[in-house]
Amino acid sequence: MVTLQTPRLVLRPWRDEDLPHYVELFADLRVTRYTLPVPPQRVEHFVLAFLRQWRDEGFGPLAALHRRTGEWIGQIGLNRVAGWPHADNVEVGFELKPWCWGQGLATEGARACLRFGFDQLGLGRIIGVTNPANAASRRVLEKAGLAYQGLLPFPPGLESAWYCVERATLGATRTSGRASRPVRW
């Protein structure tokens, strides 16, 4: 497994002691405001799936630690999206404690994961999926360099806004409804 470092984050492999933190994160209604309810047993299933994906595919979500304090603050990483209707189904995702919001930490971590996915894994395209009403997550995806693709009925019965970035566009200029600017990795 890999450990990624950014100026303010350490993104490291999951450990047994991460599970209670992750359960606590999903118990916070601010974190799950735009998702379906996630009971503790389901969170444990997520972690087991993360570990299995790392073992089988060499990538997955990582535990996010604040670099200065060492505090566990959430998860950021790449995850294969089961049931995604397109061939490119590796998503950059993030869930952080609310006190971390609005500081650019999710964007910083997402960019590190994109670099890992393109440079180390050789992926050609990485997606992002979120609830259309979750403006903060949408902004993180845009700031990380992903471009809005539209709305999709995913998962079945719900609607998701989806984004993507292709390896070939790294360093290219993107537009997000504002003036064009280069993507900074």
Condensed to tens digits (0 to 9), the pLDDT of residues 71-108 reads 999 999 999 998 999 999 999 999 999 999 999 999 99
**Which tokens go with 47?**
């972690």
Tell me the CATH number at 141: 3.40.630.30
Query: The pTM is what?
Result: 0.88
Count of structural domains within the chain: 1
Output b/e per residue, 35-73; b: 16+ Cβ within 10 A. eeebeeeebeebbeebeebbeeeebbbbbbbbeeeeebb
Higher pLDDT: 24 or 39? It is 24
Q: pLDDT at position 115, please? A: 95
| pLDDT at residue 124 greater than cutoff 90 | yes
What is the crossing angle of helices 135-144 and 105-115, to 10°? 40
**Cα 78–95–137 angle (5° rounding)?**
90
Helix (H) / strand (E) element for 149: namely strand 147-152
How far apart, in Å, do the first and last CA atoms of the chain sit? 22
Helix (H) / strand (E) element for 72: namely strand 72-80
8: containing domain = 4-182
Q: pLDDT at position 3, please? A: 95
| pLDDT average, residue stretch 158-169 | 93
Q: pLDDT at position 156, please? A: 83
**Cα 19–110–144 angle (5° rounding)?**
155
